[in-house]
């Protein structure tokens, strides 16, 4: 069975953000850029190399599809552009980025995807999708890069859901910039 691994950049007050910080109109957007670190960057390269496909929400997919197809080389671009990409959306009509597939139903189609042959599946960002994955208990691992900052508002993956998800600490690490890496596995 394939695992779904959710990876997030997250603040002390639970706000998530992409490295660019431009996906929301927030006065403190871009906070993640202030904490760039070579060790954390290498971790992200290794994390991507450990899977063979991506699961993305519509907004994250659209952002990625605008940027990554024009990139090449390095630890990210070639992998992201060739990996299978599954985008969960009820409103997206087409997904033209190489090797992209639209899924409409989190509870059934993502659960079925986990049963297919292949490597693990990585979820970047995708706050609304992650909330739904947690609600349906489809998250096998959480990789959180916890940044030493609180910004007071923004997108949160641990919102108003009422489903109990229990995780066990698999690994932790502190980077020189004060960022804490926390890897959790879902309790069975």
The tens digit of pLDDT for each residue in 116-144 reads: 999 999 999 999 999 999 999 999 999 99
What is the chain's mean pLDDT, rounded? 92
Count how many domains the chain has: 1
What per-residue confidence (pLDDT) applies to 121?
98
Task: Output the six-digit token pair for 133.
Answer: 């994955």
Q: How far apart are CA 127 and CA 131, in angstroms?
A: 6
Residue 35 lies in domain: 4-22+29-186
* Matching residue, tokens 């060739």: 82
pLDDT at 83 over 70: yes
Mean pLDDT of 63-69: 95
Taking the CB of residue 169, how many other CB atoms lie within 10 A of it?
A: 9
Residue 178, sorted as left (phi over 0), alpha (psi -120 to 50) or beta, turns out to be left
CATH (domain of 111): 3.40.430.10
Q: What is the pTM assigned to this prediction?
A: 0.94
Lowest mean pLDDT among 39-53, 78-92, 142-156: 142-156
91, burial (CB in 10 Å: exposed 0-12, middle 13-18, buried 19+): exposed
């Amino acid at each position: 069975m394939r695992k779904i691994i959710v990876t997030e950049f997250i603040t002390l007050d639970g706000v998530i953000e992409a490295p660019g910080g431009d996906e929301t109109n927030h006065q403190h957007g871009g906070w993640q850029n202030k904490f760039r670190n070579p060790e954390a960057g290498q971790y992200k390269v290794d994390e991507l190399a450990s899977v063979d496909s991506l699961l993305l929400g519509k907004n994250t997919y659209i952002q990625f599809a605008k940027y990554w197809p024009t990139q090449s080389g390095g630890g990210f671009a070639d992998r992201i552009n060739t990996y299978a990409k599954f985008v969960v959306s009820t409103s997206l009509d087409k997904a033209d980025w190489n090797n992209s597939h639209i899924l409409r139903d989190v509870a059934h189609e993502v659960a079925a995807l986990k049963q297919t042959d292949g490597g693990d599946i990585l979820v970047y960002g995708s706050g609304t999708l992650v909330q739904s994955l947690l609600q349906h208990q489809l998250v096998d691992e959480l990789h959180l890069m916890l940044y030493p900052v609180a910004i007071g508002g923004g997108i949160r993956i641990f919102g108003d859901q009422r489903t109990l998800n229990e995780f066990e600490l698999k690994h932790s690490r502190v980077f020189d910039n004060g960022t804490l890496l926390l890897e959790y596995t879902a309790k069975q």
